[in-house]
Structure 1
Amino acid sequence: MARTIIIGAHVLDGSGAPAHQVDVAFAEGVIVTVGTVSPQPDDIVIEAHGLTLAPGFIDVHTHDDLAVIVAPEMTAKVTQGVTTVVVGNCGISATTPFPSQAELPDPLVLLGPAAQFRYADFTAYANAVETARPATNVIALVGHTAMRARHMDRLDRAAQQAEREAMRSELAASLAAGAFGFSTGLAYANANAASTEEVMALADALRDSGALYCTHLRSEGAAIDEALDEAFAIARHGNAPVIVSHLKCAGAAQYGRSAAILARMEAAARQQSVACDCYPYSASSSTLDIKQVVPETPIRITWSDPEPTQAGRMLSEIAADWAVDLKTAASRLQPAGAVYHCMTEEDVDRILSHPLTMIGSDGLPCDPQPHPRLWGSFARVLGHYVRERAVLPLSKAVRKMTGLTADTLGLTDRGYVREGLAADLVLFDPAKIADCATYDDPQQTAAGIYGVWVNGVATVKAGSPTGRRGGAMLRRQSHSQQTEEMIK
């Protein structure tokens, strides 16, 4: 059996333990030895020369639903060490077909054009991912707003009983087919009219399955306490773990509230399974929302359907050129995308370093001028927040990208450097790893990544993609299936 052997790496195994120097061998997509390895003539031997080897990074919050099919090389992700992406976040997923000329409801437009939404159900989507064979593994959630668009004639109201039942049936079928959970984006206009009772009715499908409830909170501003309480209540109703998406203190009035918000998370975590994710930047990105257009938040326009030449410019500059106020300019630009500089570094530091927090990029691959988090999040954590600013130690940062995320998602076959687990691995230099993507020039690969393997397939070599793709569609096992596997 031909093996690949990485000799003498400083291994961070995903547990949060300090690095130890050891050899790692893998074959046929599986780690076979962690220890001292004697190379054989047919082995591929890689001398680590003191570089660090870690489990492949798991991007717990992405909007790569269609990108993994239409751009399966996944360059933005693999070049920063990501080997698995979680799609279907914020209530947005690609399992609702639309006519090619349809006007997509916000925020589904973030995933791509209507013509690419052609999957009749979760199984059809998962089969399309498997056919595309992307460079990363894919884990999928089922989006609430996507289901509302399928089963409701309009989205500015709560679902009626028959519509709730239809959505719950779709969600249950998707979970049975391998979806990892259910996501909501209750802050968005096309889901905001949904009542807590509507979401609880769907969460019934999660009960006792091990599947997740992931939520872009109804508010990340002044009403965040109430929004958190709603999220915890929905998860308790469904007896499901809850992941709060991209936890933040958004808007000047919320600056400094991270300690209190995290305390609220900790209190809930003593009663139920609670986690969150964040990205390592003090600016967010989404569609251009008039409610978020305020003078104290600098806003960069990333795309605009009616005014495409304004992409990349600050909203204040556009408004000045047009001699109008900010909200008038924003209305003229819509539909559009935007980056909102709406957080403080102090709050980002506190959330990023908290034990409940995982790392997710929340990048938008269809954006022509994307937030740099798409290309830089994981390298930025390890370079800017670990090496340069010492916000958290390297071993703990790697755990937030690997073992902690695998445990939270219920993955049992990856997330750690251990014998018998999938050979998803990243080899990097802690002294050189850095994000190179900027707001002005966001599509830049990270520095300091020397090798990436996805299911044992060499996907990045010497910092550059090899063109080989070894990703897989990862389907969730039910608790009963997991028990059967353990008995076997």
Structure 2
Amino acid sequence: MKTRLGIAALASILLASCATPGVVPAEADLLIQGGTVYPGGAEPFTGDVAIRGDRIVAVGPQLHIAAARTIDARGMVVAPGFIDPHTHMEGWITADDASRRLVEPFLMQGVTTAFVGNDGGGRIDIGNLLASAKARPVGINYGSFTGFGTIRAKVIGMDRRAPTDTELAQEKVLVKQAMCEGALGLSTGLFYAPQSFSKTDEVIALSRVAGEMGGKYDSHLRDEANYNIGLAAAVDEAIAIARDGHIPVHISHIKALGVDVHGMAPAIIAKIEQARAEGLSITASQYPWNASGTSLVSSLVPLWAQDGGRTAMLARFDDPAQQTRLRADITENMRRRGGPGSLLIVQGKWRGQRLDAVAKAMNTDAVSAAIAAIRQSDAATISFNMAESDIEAFMRQPWVMTDSDASTAHPRVYGSFARKYAVYVKERKVLTTREFIDRSSATVADWFGLADRGHLRAGAFADVVVFDPQTFASRATYEAPEQTAAGVRDVVVNGALAVADGKLTGTAAGRALPHTPPAGSCR
């Protein structure tokens, strides 16, 4: 793991990393010593990281610094704390239980910062969410998007129609309000009702408001398969939003979902590369699993049947006149997903069983079983629907970051970053260690504008992970998803040890990370 650099190069790193150029600090609170240091955006070297308070004060080879505490990191990788740009962890960071607010699944993978409010589900009252970290300490740093789904539901409800001029103006006001309270930008989940009832021009209008205030647009695409407009057209829509909304666009958990679109990754990559070559700021992120996580309704029920919300949907289930169309569409959606055997229910009465087994237990066909299960609840569901060739093709792109899309009962909550390293760096060699680290830290921080994070350098916030390159791996599985990762030895969040010798310390040093709009834009 050790990389040799010339004396001049090492001297340059040391001088550049000191708080005052050319001056090495006399003391530190914490010295991480002798590890293979990946600074984030630069080549690794064997050396030390010195921390005082919540900041890094020096990074370099053989720092001669007295420290109150020293961590022997020989044989370990020392990297910037990982940053997860797409999660569903708001329930963890706002929990009543202080131990849950530590967010153990993330800390034990070296994740020190996460974004919430994705897929269009973000709050409007961002200020309250960000303020809660002071009264109710959290283990990781976090920022939040405001959500198109939340805003549209508040203004229009669950109806399948375009907004009136007055309603569109109200939506814009809510986007601006959230941005002024510190939202990172606008997120959408255009596949999900009621967002799926929107047209592109509505999304562009709201994105333009967020863009004018320095925000980003984060999206679960309108289609990742061929449910409605198709994957290629959904990517075209995201590009149009970047162009006409004048906003940087991030495509979350990029994938080719379902048997009909397997093998499309090269064509999608080419589309995005062309848009980037035109000067548009477009990136993506990805979780390293071949199964997605959603719900039975989202997986199987056609959008027309979701119009008006759950009550209206259940009424359609009971309408004999609609049964032929409904069952045909559910059958087709099930085929897209790879059949009933590809759908694992992970919540509720049928937790841990695949849909074909549920149908057998009910002594009925898979469509009838799905409808019966949905009547009970819209259970979380894991869908095995991706091809490894597509996963690896997307992963190789320098503009594709690491995310978890952390959600109920999926191993990606506890193991995404660890699995990506163990499987795609060590085992399959799809990425180098540096590529994995950069796209899990520096690339994310730089594109999303997280000042002084994502890098190990003097003046940066001291978010650091120390992991064993031989044992860092996911222990979470689809059958047993709630197992913490192996191999992370130490984690520092804002200068405080959150994990020491492979165990949580109980310290909650995370902070809320509000976005600051341009001066005068919130008048």
| TM-score under structure 2 length normalisation | 0.83
CA distance in 2, matches of 1:173, 1:250: 35
- Please state if 1:322 is matched with 2:337: no
Give the CA RMSD over aligned residues.
1.6
Indicate the structure (1 or 2) with the bigger Cα radius of gyration. Answer: 2
* One-letter code aligned to 1:6: I
Judging changes above 3 Å, is the alpha-carbon distance between structure 1 residues 24 and 389 closer, same or farther for their aligned structure 2 residues?
Answer: same
Which of 218, 223, 227 lines up with 2:222 in the alignment? 218
Counterpart AA for 2:398 = P
Output one character per residue of 1:17-76: Cα deviation in whole Å (capped at 9) or x when no partner: 332011110111100011232242x62111112211000000111011232110311011
1:351 aligned residue: 394
Calculate percent identity across the aligned residue pairs: 34
Give, in whole Å, the separation in 1 of the partners of 2:261 and 2:295. 21
Deviation, structure 1 residue 460: 0.9
1:363 aligns with 2:373: no
Give the aligned partner of residue 122 of structure 2: 93
Structure 2 residue aligned with 1:109: none
Deviation at 1:219, TM superposition (A): 0.6
Q: Superposed, which structure 2 residues align to 1:282-361 within 5 Å?
A: 282-288=290-296, 289-291=299-301, 292-294=333-335, 296-297=338-339, 298-303=342-347, 308-334=348-374, 335-361=378-404
Q: Distance in 2 between matches of 1:139 and 1:349?
A: 28
2:240 aligns with: 233
Residues 109 and 415 in structure 2, CA contact (< 8 A), matched pair in contact too: yes
Amino acid corresponding to residue 82 of structure 1 in structure 2: V
Q: Which residue of 2 aligns with 1:106?
A: none
- Residue 482 (structure 2) pairs with residue 475 (structure 1): no
Cα distance, 1:480 vs structure 2: 4.8
CA distance in structure 2 between the aligned counterparts of 1:225 and 1:130, rounded to whole angstroms: 43
1:77 maps to amino acid: F
Q: Which residue of 2 aligns with 1:141?
A: 145
1:155 maps to which of 135, 152, 159: 159
Aligned pair 1:178/2:182, yes or no?
A: yes
1:29 to 2:54 alignment: yes
Is the contact made by 1:65 and 1:93 (CA closer than 8 Å) also made in structure 2?
no
Do the aligned residues in 2 keep the contact of 1:66 with 1:94 (CA within 8 Å)?
A: no
Per-residue deviation, 1:434 = 0.5
Given that residues 242 and 282 in structure 2 are in contact (C-alpha distance below 8 angstroms), is that contact kept between their aligned partners in structure 1? no
Contact 2:225 / 2:256 at 8 angstroms: preserved in 1? yes
**Candidates 43, 64, 70, aligned match of 1:38:** 64
Contact 1:39 1:45 in 2 (8 A): no
CA distance, structure 2, for counterparts of residue 300 and residue 161 of structure 1: 43
Contact 1:209-1:478 at 8 Å conserved across structures = yes
**Cα pair 1:245 1:278 within 8 Å, conserved:** yes
TM normalised by structure 1 equals 0.89
1:179 & 1:188 partners in 2: Cα distance? 21
SS at match of 1:254: coil
CA distance in 1, matches of 2:109, 2:355: 30
Identify the residue that residue 102 of structure 2 maps to in structure 1: 73
Equivalent position of 2:40 in the other structure: 14
Q: CA deviation at 1:2?
A: 4.8
> 1:447 maps to what in 2?
486
State whether structure 2 residue 167 is matched by structure 1 residue 167: no
Conserved 8 A contact 2:185-2:211 = no
Query: Residue type matched to 1:207 in 2?
Result: G
Report the CA distance between 1:224 and its aligned residue: 1.1
Q: Structure 2: 5+ residue runs without aligned partners?
A: 1-26, 302-332
* Aligned-partner residue type, residue 332 of structure 1: A
Q: Which residue of 2 aligns with 1:132?
A: 136
8 A contact 2:57–2:458 mirrored in 1: yes
Conserved 8 A contact 1:278-1:359: yes
Alignment-mate amino acid for residue 282 of structure 2: V
Equivalent in 32, 48, 57 of residue 82 of structure 2:
57
* Higher deviation after alignment, 24-33 or 61-70: 61-70
2:385 is paired with a residue of what secondary structure?
Answer: coil
